[in-house]
A and B are shown apart, each in its own frame.
Chain A
């Protein structure tokens, strides 16, 4: 897998760097896991990047995309995140085959210097960006499914850090502005969240742990993300010897139609305690560095996750 960190000059430069990283990083090229650029359009107002990831053995076709745009008057600088099941040369970013429609998972960035961390393999990419004192994040690609490949061949997750429906400024607070690891929306069981999974039947499934713009209440939603759905995460601290323990993050479903599933877990992304911890810390697990990330602006014990930097 490949890892890169640095500081982009602004939200557009960040996407330019991601483009180069995914398509040219030596570690990806050496493994035959570099992503293929299908469309790159960059004009004064927008950028549009559509990509195909090859999987770990070059046998997959995983379609993801990022589109940047801005509204300086309203004060937002965005990345829209999307995924599809194919690529159409003639269709727009928002009309690719089988893609997400409506409010997409997003990253709310800014037009200023942006420290970033990129991690990728042939199946998925994760982006973490620091905007002022806040953290934004994205997950583009496959999860690790709890099924045989033939049973669930296209487990595509598009994860962001904002739904966009209730405002897009990076300073927005509330359940619409949460990372894909512990997502929310300010209406119960809403379909616009920062965590969208293409399910086994081909439908895009929204995941949500919290709602209510004032309290960010937790509830047993149709599709919670485990273990973030567990309120008692707030009482977990580090191990006795001071090391931090990682837990998998699992996408689950239990809806009124009788479907109940543990679809699978995120790749290289884990829940970690925030007890005496801080965003930007590096913790070693089995000799590998993991970046500690806070959920946007939140800094309580339960609001941290870790990204494997390898």
Chain B
């Protein structure tokens, strides 16, 4: 099963929908059971292991704000004796405290879209948590540049404890129309809501895709990392601002390239998700399907079109 849509009444039904879809798509259910007032889910496909938990007005850990939605982490192994948030190889801060990504603000019934792809593996969920407001979770394996350990990724609309505030620090290019809430692989945010797994330069763990102050101690960047001048130039800025094409209304897709920061201050290209692309959605409606040759993709706003995220969006590969 490569695509499914439906409605869920809250975080736990939403997580259950993802569980059933994942199993139908060939994922192994390692655990599905209660966790406090909510449910925990562990999934495996090949070497990839991910853990999710629904949250009902709960905080990931002490010090973080309470959220309602779903937490997501990746790990190296599955220990059935341990809960979802104490598995081997979770993303942790230098004080060994867990970090996660999330899909929050699931306060009521919502429409969801579930996508499964192979080669490499990726599972994506996008939920319309309020009319016109979309959040996502995605996890799987990046297309890697080269042969080296790692490549797993988790991406969420939020970090461990993140608020979608309309402050100037959330503008990609410094303008109010350039808000970028919830964009996958958003490295313009401090801390960030995306992690990639890599063993390099003496570190074997999760690299935080963020602008600065990597929460795991290791930083990766993607296409939004700001350049040195104003207006902020990024690999994505030149792409975004030149699309959609005046000639035919088409906005070419841009991979979310990921680069790892090395000890010398340079960045190594690491990989990109094969089934997720940046998209200027000026000419696309949320959840609209469009074709590129034989491929089909579905367009989503980073948050809400022409509102908090302007025309920043993304496309998920649709196979059905």
Chain A interface residues (CB < 8 Å from chain B) = 146-148, 151-152, 200, 220, 224, 226-227, 229-232, 235-243, 245, 247, 250, 252-254, 258-263, 275, 301
> What are 21 A-B pairs at a CB distance below 8 A?
A146-B245, A147-B248, A152-B247, A220-B233, A226-B235, A226-B238, A227-B235, A227-B238, A230-B235, A231-B229, A232-B233, A232-B234, A232-B235, A237-B262, A239-B145, A239-B270, A240-B145, A253-B242, A260-B244, A262-B245, A301-B266
Nearest neighbor of B234 in chain A, beta-carbon distance: A230
Question: Whole-angstrom distance between the alpha carbons of A261 and B280 in the complex?
Answer: 12
User: Does the CB pair B200–A240 fall under 8 Å?
Assistant: yes
Q: CB within 8 A of A261: which of B235, B242, B269?
A: B242
- Chain B residues 64-120 with CB under 8 Å of chain A are none
Q: In the complex, what residues of B have CB within 8 A of residue A242's CB?
A: 146
Q: A226-B238, A240-B270 are in contact. Are A261 and B228 (CB under 8 A)?
A: no
Q: In the complex, what residues of B have CB within 8 A of residue A263's CB?
A: 245
Q: In the complex, what residues of B have CB within 8 A of residue A245's CB?
A: 145, 269
Q: In the complex, what residues of B have CB within 8 A of residue A243's CB?
A: 145-146
Q: How far is the CB of A216 from chain B (nearest CB, A)?
A: 15
Question: Whole-angstrom distance between the alpha carbons of A245 and B234 in the complex?
Answer: 18
Q: CB within 8 A of B245: which of A227, A229, A260, A301?
A: A260
Q: In the complex, what residues of B have CB within 8 A of residue A224's CB?
A: 238
Q: In the complex, what residues of A have CB within 8 A of residue B262's CB?
A: 237
Question: Whole-angstrom distance between the alpha carbons of A266 and B239 in the complex?
Answer: 16
Question: Whole-angstrom distance between the alpha carbons of A245 and B248 in the complex?
Answer: 31
Question: Does chain A have a CB within 8 A of B188?
Answer: no
Q: How far is the CB of B218 from chain A (nearest CB, A)?
A: 13
Q: How far is the CB of A203 from chain B (nearest CB, A)?
A: 13
User: Does the CB pair A151–B247 fall under 8 Å?
Assistant: yes
Q: In the complex, what residues of A have CB within 8 A of residue B248's CB?
A: 147-148, 151
Question: Whole-angstrom distance between the alpha carbons of A243 and B271 in the complex?
Answer: 12
Which 7 A-B residue pairings sit nearest by Cβ, starting from the closest?
Answer: A241-B146, A252-B242, A237-B266, A245-B269, A239-B146, A239-B145, A243-B146
User: Does the CB pair A236–B267 fall under 8 Å?
Assistant: yes
Question: Whole-angstrom distance between the alpha carbons of A261 and B250 in the complex?
Answer: 9
Question: Does chain A have a CB within 8 A of B225?
Answer: yes
Q: How far is the CB of A302 from chain B (nearest CB, A)?
A: 11
Question: Does chain A have a CB within 8 A of B139?
Answer: no
- Chain B residues 209-261 with CB under 8 Å of chain A are 225, 227-229, 231, 233-235, 238-239, 241-248, 250, 252, 257, 259-260
Q: In the complex, what residues of B have CB within 8 A of residue A148's CB?
A: 248
Question: Does chain A have a CB within 8 A of B175?
Answer: no
Q: In the complex, what residues of A have CB within 8 A of residue B131's CB?
A: none
Q: How far is the CB of B292 from chain A (nearest CB, A)?
A: 10
Nearest neighbor of B225 in chain A, beta-carbon distance: A232
The secondary structure that dominates the B interface is: loop
Q: How far is the CB of B171 from chain A (nearest CB, A)?
A: 17
User: Does the CB pair A262–B200 fall under 8 Å?
Assistant: no
User: Does the CB pair B146–A262 fall under 8 Å?
Assistant: no
Question: Does chain A have a CB within 8 A of B46?
Answer: no
Question: Does chain A have a CB within 8 A of B147?
Answer: yes
Q: CB within 8 A of B242: which of A231, A238, A262?
A: A262
User: Does the CB pair A236–B245 fall under 8 Å?
Assistant: no
Question: Whole-angstrom distance between the alpha carbons of A289 and B250 in the complex?
Answer: 33
Question: Does chain A have a CB within 8 A of B198?
Answer: yes
Question: Whole-angstrom distance between the alpha carbons of A88 and B274 in the complex?
Answer: 48
Interface 1/0 per residue, B124-148 and A, CB below 8 Å? 0000000000000000000001111
Q: How far is the CB of B266 from chain A (nearest CB, A)?
A: 4
Q: How far is the CB of B231 from chain A (nearest CB, A)?
A: 7
Q: In the complex, what residues of B have CB within 8 A of residue A258's CB?
A: 246
Q: A226-B242, A260-B243, A262-B239 are in contact. List 9 more A-B contacts (CB 8 A).
A: A146-B250, A224-B238, A230-B233, A232-B233, A235-B265, A239-B148, A240-B268, A241-B147, A261-B246
Q: In the complex, what residues of A have CB within 8 A of residue B233's CB?
A: 220, 229-232
Q: CB within 8 A of B246: which of A235, A250, A259?
A: A259
User: Does the CB pair A240–B198 fall under 8 Å?
Assistant: yes
User: Does the CB pair A231–B266 fall under 8 Å?
Assistant: no
Q: CB within 8 A of A200: which of B227, B244, B247?
A: B247
Question: Whole-angstrom distance between the alpha carbons of A152 and B245 in the complex?
Answer: 12
User: Does the CB pair B243–A262 fall under 8 Å?
Assistant: yes
Q: How far is the CB of A260 from chain B (nearest CB, A)?
A: 5
Question: Whole-angstrom distance between the alpha carbons of A163 and B242 in the complex?
Answer: 25
Q: A260-B241, A262-B252 are in contact. Are A239 and B268 (CB under 8 A)?
A: yes
Nearest neighbor of A236 in chain B, beta-carbon distance: B267
Nearest neighbor of A261 in chain B, beta-carbon distance: B245
Q: A230-B233, A232-B225, A262-B252 are in contact. Are A238 and B245 (CB under 8 A)?
A: no
User: Does the CB pair B242–A236 fall under 8 Å?
Assistant: no
User: Does the CB pair A147–B270 fall under 8 Å?
Assistant: no
User: Does the CB pair B268–A238 fall under 8 Å?
Assistant: yes
Q: In the complex, what residues of A have CB within 8 A of residue B148's CB?
A: 239-241
Q: How far is the CB of B222 from chain A (nearest CB, A)?
A: 12
Q: In the complex, what residues of B have CB within 8 A of residue A232's CB?
A: 225, 227-228, 233-235
Q: CB within 8 A of B239: which of A152, A226, A238, A301?
A: A226
Question: Whole-angstrom distance between the alpha carbons of A252 and B192 in the complex?
Answer: 29
Q: How far is the CB of B227 from chain A (nearest CB, A)?
A: 5
